[in-house]
Amino acid sequence: MEITDLTRMFAGAFSAVGLVLCLWLSRVEFGKIPRERKIHIGFATLSGLAFFKLLALAALFAIPATAVGVANYHTVEGVHDVDSCNRCHVMTPMVTDMRDPQSQSLAARHFKNGWIPKDQCYQCHSDYGLAGDMRAKMEGYRHLARYTTRTYTEPIMYRGVFHNDNCLKCHQGTPAFQAVPSHATVSERLAESSLSCTNCHGAAHPSRERRTPGHPDYSKLMGGAE
Amino acid sequence: MESETPQPAEPQDIHRREFMWAMAGLGAATAAAFAGWGALEALVPPGTADEWHKSVCRFCGTGCTIRVGMREGEIVDIRGHEDGHNKGVICVKGSMLRALPKIEGRLTTPMIRRNGKLEPASWDEALDLIGRRFKEIRDTHGPDALAFYGSGQLFTEETYTANKLFKGGLRTNNVDGNPRLCMSSAAAGYVRVYGKDEPPGCYADIDHAELFFIFGANPYECHPPLWERVQRRRAANRNAFVICVDPRRSETAKRSDLHLPVIPGTDLLLLNAMAQVMVEDGLCDMKFMQRHVRFDRNGETVDFEAFRAFLRDYTPEKVEQQLGIGADLIRHVAHRFATSRASTSLWTMGVNQRTQGTALNTMLNALHLITGQFGRKGATPFSITGQPNACGGVRDTGSLSHLLPAGRTVTNPDHRREVEHKWGLPEGAISQTPGHDAVSLFRAMGDGRVKGALIMCTNPGQSMPAADRYAKAMQDCFTVVSEIVPDSETAKAASVLLPAALWCEKEGVLGQGERRYQLVPKLLDPPGEARSDLWMLVEIAKRLGLGDLIKARTPQEVWDEWRHFSADSYYNFEGMTYDRLRALPGLQWPCPDEDHPGTARRFVEGEDPFVSKGAGIEFYGRKDKRAVVYLCPYVPSPEQRSEVYPLYLTTGRVLEQWHTGTMTMRIPELRGAAGPARFTVSEVDAKRRGIEAGDMIEVSSAFGAVQGRAVIDREMRPGLVFAAFYDARLLVNRVVADHVDPVSKEPEFKLTAVQMRRLGN
């Protein structure tokens, strides 16, 4: 079983327990709990009131907080697979192109030659993951808000900076990388992403023009869906 | 009854209150979410630049479309334009364009040589002096004592104006330029084969080719985006196969599937032998030939049998010894070329800069014509070009000494008349005598036949072969030089030095190797008093009393004049208005009207507007609508190794430097990556002379000598020495021979017999 499935099951169970607890506690009349009632949990003994107060704390704060935490973990870590990205239809052209054996884009070449065996989107966009920086999360939230409220216009322009770290983590230090003298002289610019790797090594995805409705390639890139 | 009095409805109040709280909570959560979004819209950084402008790379002839990122009035980022023909790919030189306008040591004021020393002057002083001296020279020695030496890096508007000013105004055909040094053999080849200059194919053919025949070219270093495109094709199609023909094991050769290291100077034998195999083994497309091709031997039309008979002297067995490639391999390559689903040939300076440059060009085209590898996607002969505007700016505007605009020649009376009419000149105004080509021009400057010259946007002091001789020629003449820096090898020889704007400090059109014209918008002001070359030409014209001839004085006015000029020719690009060029990442001519999308593949029905309906392919450049295959005998180069000069020197470029390094050697990232230029020698030749890596050596020829450090390359072919020409401190062109191709007049940079000796550590 994948860790993402476990996470989903865990989060689901937690949410269900929280919900049941909340419903149950809403029917408990705290004033009528007998003072002498004791509840034994293992070696600990609690008064009935204290037990229900603790239960209420768990139901109202601890369990929701854990559920939110697990959900966020799932959001940033559990959506590594390509299909997760493909759920937003604006990402479909990227995924279709990547899987197209005829495509010559950087993403397609990495895919078809097996250079990245799984989670192909995430491997090159790892700053959206838990270990990535805050800027990526801010951008991700903005994208989510724009997408769910349909307040974006096409062609979609990427506003941020694609971080070269995503390329360098695999390529830097390889013999092919070291053999190019200018990689050394522009290393600072590469490190700070002020000079993009894709300048010399090509666009990773179909151009904005091609993935905009109305372009002859658009329906093909949408997998023939539109 | 009292007992039935309703009690305060507490439970309902509690429910309502709870509901209100819940709603308030929900509202607050929603407001927080939207506030967070709003804040992020403001907080998420806007990327590396605030505004982006479409432009074109300043360096090589690939002519990559780029996006220039600006912030606070400065260029802060450069990206490949994903909608450009280059699909977003540029190279490290293009990436560092951001540093170009700010290179150290820009020339910011005119200078006049007084008592042997260049001193600052005002524009009026400099221009008045030029006007006065040019008039004196013309009146005393005739118009042919004046000359213009231009560049494949000027904007089209600038070269067109200079051509008009000198040929139409001053009435001398002494208009030439550095394209003579790099691609006049390609131009001569296309004109001889198709009747019209410029390649029939396009870069997109690389996306469809299955065989790449890279011949005398090193695109990995010299045209990296094109090599990247080849690599993309290989990664996308496992049948794609790359053959590289180069005497040197270049970076491209190392990355090719098959490298044919021919003996320097003998490669026409390979092409003739391949043709011989194709003819004898039945690999020719007879139907294509019967419809579209004729054969020519020294001006006489001959038949296919004569071609076959001519090739009998070039069987693989007969040439293998001299060529250095085995007969079996020649056969294999010929079969592979002819039978591939689509073969693309890519060639450049290794072919053009040769005394048989025109013959090599015609034979490369011939291989495509006899096998029918033509006019389909991926099947094309394609000469890659060296400079960003040698094609559009110089070849198309006819700004070489034997040409007139749009494919006309000065020796053709009808052509002269047409141009005189278009320029509003009296009949007979344009001289019928071809002017001096580059080498001949600098010789004339040296011996006093040419006494005044205007040199713009090029550095012949470093780029001419036998450079010492021509540096002196410039000093002996009244030489006006428009330059961006005061210390280039050419600036050092100037009588008057004019500070030039560069790249996006001015506006204009560049035309690159696939007949694509693109606009460079003005984004910055030039430094100090620097001005565009167009402004200088207009001001010089005024001082020569030729202001009436040069009526178009802004880039757009000149463009519109030239655009309308082209309308009645096969170069027709009247549909390329400035507005379209501002909006689009370039257009390829022919493009006869504003609705025309441009022409990717020339001579092909459905793409080229000049091809008749139903013709399929039509070579309309000639009256009989046929392309010509020439019987080109192999003639050995005048440069042959001897006991005194037992090695061959060949020159070229490196990835991070461009041309004479005037721009790229002043950009730290590029200078650091390339380092100082050095001689690359083989292990065998080094050992024989006691040379170790890093030693100072001297390489000398009958033309001159140069000292520099040695690098020993285990993969270097014994008997060959290589040096790049970007570094003025190792000015290798001092050694290079200046023999020229008899047709194209292009010098043979690629082959000089030299000797080499160790000087010390």
Task: Name chain B contacts of A182, Cβ cutoff 8 Å.
Answer: 92, 655-656, 669-670, 673
Which of A98, A113, A178, A185 is most worth mutating to test chain B (most B CB atoms within 10 A of its CB)?
A185
CA distance B35 to chain A (A): 11
Residue B378 gets the label, from left (phi > 0), alpha (psi -120 to 50) or beta, of left
Active site positions of B, annotated: 93, 182-183, 349, 386-387
What is the pLDDT of chain A when averaged over all its residues?
85
CATH code assigned to B51-102: 2.20.25.90
CA–CA gap between residue B640 and residue B663 (Å, rounded): 35
For chain B, helix (H) and strand (E) counts, in that order, are 25, 29
Pair A88, A68 in one domain:
no
Q: What's the confidence (pLDDT) of residue B510?
A: 98
CA distance B670 to chain A (A): 7
Q: CB B668 to CB A161 under 8 A?
A: no
Q: What's the confidence (pLDDT) of residue A70?
A: 82
pLDDT tens digits for B501-553? 999 999 999 999 999 999 999 999 999 999 999 999 999 999 999 999 999 99
Pair A63, A90 in one domain:
no
Name the β-bridge partners of B720. Answer: B648
CA–CA gap between residue A66 and residue A74 (Å, rounded): 12
Please enumerate in sequence order all residues whose Cβ is within 8 A of that of A181, keeping only pairs 6 or more positions apart, or say none. Answer: B655, B656, B673, B674, B675
pLDDT tens digits for B346-396? 999 999 999 999 999 999 999 999 999 999 999 999 999 999 999 999 999
B6: pLDDT confidence band, cut at 50, 70 and 90?
A: low
Task: Name chain A contacts of B236, Cβ cutoff 8 Å.
Answer: 101-104, 108-109, 112
CB atoms within 10 A of CB A91: 17
CB B223 within 8 A of CB B206: no
CA distance B610 to chain A (A): 26
Q: Exposed, middle or buried, B2 (CB in 10 Å: 0-12/13-18/19+)?
A: exposed
Name the β-bridge partners of B713. Answer: B682
CB B690 within 8 A of CB B720: no
Range name among A99-113, B103-117, B540-554 with the lowest pLDDT average? A99-113
B724: pLDDT confidence band, cut at 50, 70 and 90?
A: very high
Residues in chain B: 761
Chain A positions contacting chain B at CB under 8 Å are 101-104, 108-109, 112-113, 135, 138-139, 141-142, 145, 158-161, 180-182, 184-186, 189, 193-196, 198-203, 207-209
Q: What's the confidence (pLDDT) of residue B20?
A: 84
* Tokens (6 digits) for A92: 């479909």
Q: CB B655 to CB A112 under 8 A?
A: no
Give me the CATH topology for the region B647-760. Barwin-like endoglucanases (2.40.40)
Q: What's the confidence (pLDDT) of residue B13?
A: 57
Domain boundary among A39, A62, A77: A77
Facing A161 at nearest CB: one of B48, B233, B668: B48
* Tokens (6 digits) for B633: 């005998």
User: What single DSSP character describes residue B732?
Assistant: G
Q: CB B236 to CB A199 under 8 A?
A: no
Q: CB B674 to CB A181 under 8 A?
A: yes
Q: CB A160 to CB B44 under 8 A?
A: yes
A225: pLDDT confidence band, cut at 50, 70 and 90?
A: very low
* Tokens (6 digits) for B305: 């049998």
CB B157 within 8 A of CB B329: no
Domain boundary among A43, A59, A77: A77
Is A48 inside any structural domain?
Answer: yes
* Tokens (6 digits) for A218: 């658009």
Q: Exposed, middle or buried, B292 (CB in 10 Å: 0-12/13-18/19+)?
A: buried
- Which secondary-structure segment (H or E) carries B161? helix B156-163
Give the residue carrying structure tokens 């927080």.
Answer: B32
pLDDT tens digits for A5-54? 777 788 788 888 888 888 888 888 888 888 788 888 888 888 888 888 88
Do β-strands B516-520 and B508-511 pair in parallel, antiparallel, or remain unpaired?
antiparallel
pLDDT tens digits for B729-755? 999 999 999 999 999 999 999 999 999
Asked whether residue B280 carries a pLDDT value surpassing 70, the answer given is: yes
CA–CA gap between residue A40 and residue A71 (Å, rounded): 33
CA distance A207 to chain B (A): 6
Is A26 inside any structural domain?
Answer: yes
Q: How large is the average pLDDT for residues B197-211?
A: 97
Q: How far is CA B350 from CA A78, B218, B749, in A?
A: 55, 9, 9
Looking at domain B184-384+624-630, its CATH superfamily turns out to be Dimethylsulfoxide Reductase, domain 2 (3.40.228.10)
How many domains does the structure of chain A reveal? 2
CB atoms within 10 A of CB B124: 11
Is A226 inside any structural domain?
Answer: no
Residue B210, SS3 per DSSP: coil
Q: What is the CA radius of gyration of chain B?
A: 30
Q: Exposed, middle or buried, A217 (CB in 10 Å: 0-12/13-18/19+)?
A: middle
Give the residue carrying structure tokens 């049948």.
Answer: B239
What is the pLDDT of chain B when averaged over all its residues?
95
Q: CB B87 to CB A208 under 8 A?
A: no
Pair A58, A102 in one domain:
no
Asked whether residue A73 carries a pLDDT value surpassing 90, the answer given is: no
The 3-state DSSP composition of chain B as helix, strand, coil percent (nearest 5) reads: 40, 20, 40
Q: What's the confidence (pLDDT) of residue A77?
A: 72
Helices (H), ranges, B293-396 = 304-311, 316-323, 327-339, 349-352, 357-371
Q: What's the confidence (pLDDT) of residue B1?
A: 44
Higher pLDDT, B540 or A140: B540
pLDDT tens digits for B641-680? 999 999 999 999 999 999 999 999 999 999 999 999 999 9
* Tokens (6 digits) for A9: 């099951």
Q: CB B87 to CB A207 under 8 A?
A: yes
Q: Exposed, middle or buried, B609 (CB in 10 Å: 0-12/13-18/19+)?
A: middle
Q: What's the confidence (pLDDT) of residue B5?
A: 52
In degrees, rounded to 5, the angle at the alpha carbon of residue B697 between the alpha carbons of residues B695 and B703 is 165
CB atoms within 10 A of CB B719: 15
Q: What's the confidence (pLDDT) of residue A54?
A: 87
In degrees, rounded to 5, the angle at the alpha carbon of residue B269 between the alpha carbons of residues B265 and B272 is 145
Q: CB A203 to CB B82 under 8 A?
A: yes
Please enumerate in sequence order all residues whose Cβ is within 8 A of that of B527, keeping only pairs 6 or more positions apart, or say none. Answer: B101, B106, B108, B499, B505
The 3-class SS string of chain A reads CCHHHHHHHHHHHHHHHHHHHHHHHHCCCHHHCCCCCEEEECCEEEEHHHHHHHHHHHHHHHHHHHHHHHHHHHHHHCCCCHHHHHCCHHHHHHHHHHHCCCCCCHHHHHHHCCCCCCCHHHHHCHHHCCCCCHHHHHHHHHHHHHHHCCCCCCCCCCCCCCCCHHHHHHHCCCHHHHCCHHHHHCHHHHHCCCCCCHHHHCCCCCCCCCCCCCCCCHHHHCCCCC
- Which secondary-structure segment (H or E) carries B759? strand B752-760
- For chain B, give the percent of residues with pLDDT over 90: 91
Q: How large is the average pLDDT for residues A79-106?
A: 89
Q: CB A184 to CB B41 under 8 A?
A: no
Q: How large is the average pLDDT for residues B161-168?
A: 98
Task: Name chain A contacts of B89, Cβ cutoff 8 Å.
Answer: 199-203
Q: Exposed, middle or buried, A134 (CB in 10 Å: 0-12/13-18/19+)?
A: exposed
Is A128 inside any structural domain?
Answer: yes
The 3-class SS string of B518-572 reads EEECCCCCCCCCCECHHHHHHHHHHHCCCCCCCCCCCHHHHHHHHHHHHHHCCCC
- Which secondary-structure segment (H or E) carries B422? helix B413-423
CA distance B500 to chain A (A): 28
What range defines the domain where residue A35 resides? Answer: 3-77
B12: pLDDT confidence band, cut at 50, 70 and 90?
A: low
Higher pLDDT, A108 or B761: A108
- The reply to whether omega before B592 is within 30° of 0 (cis) is no
Pair A165, A193 in one domain:
yes
pLDDT tens digits for B588-646? 999 999 999 999 999 999 999 999 999 999 999 999 999 999 999 999 999 999 999 99
DSSP string covering B268-312, please?
A: HHHHHHHHHHHHHTT-S-HHHHHHHEEEEETTEEE-HHHHHHHHG
In 3D space, the residue among B351, B175, B193 whose CA is nearest the CA of residue B262 turns out to be B351
Give the residue carrying structure tokens 């982006």.
Answer: B52
Give this prediction's pTM: 0.90
Residue boundaries of the structural domains of chain B:
2-43, 51-102, 111-179+399-551, 184-384+624-630, 647-760
CA–CA gap between residue B60 and residue B508 (Å, rounded): 16
B2: pLDDT confidence band, cut at 50, 70 and 90?
A: very low
Which of B226, B377, B669 is most worth mutating to test chain A (most A CB atoms within 10 A of its CB)?
B669
DSSP string covering B433-474, please?
A: S----HHHHHHHHHHTS--EEEEES--HHHHSSSHHHHHHHH
CA–CA gap between residue A184 and residue A202 (Å, rounded): 20
**Rounded (10°) CA dihedral B105, B107, B109, B114:** 100
Q: What's the confidence (pLDDT) of residue A154?
A: 83
Domain boundary among A77, A95, A110: A77
Give the residue carrying structure tokens 């139409």.
Answer: B168
- Which secondary-structure segment (H or E) carries B237? none
Please enumerate in sequence order all residues whose Cβ is within 8 A of that of B293, keeping only pairs 6 or more positions apart, or say none. Answer: B369, B370, B626, B627, B628, B629
User: Is B111-179+399-551 a CATH 3.50.50.60 domain?
Assistant: no
Q: What's the confidence (pLDDT) of residue B7?
A: 52
CA–CA gap between residue B6 and residue B9 (Å, rounded): 8
A226: pLDDT confidence band, cut at 50, 70 and 90?
A: very low
Q: What's the confidence (pLDDT) of residue B362?
A: 98
Pair A181, A97 in one domain:
yes
Asked whether residue B318 carries a pLDDT value surpassing 90, the answer given is: yes
Q: What's the confidence (pLDDT) of residue A13?
A: 85
Residue B42, SS3 per DSSP: helix
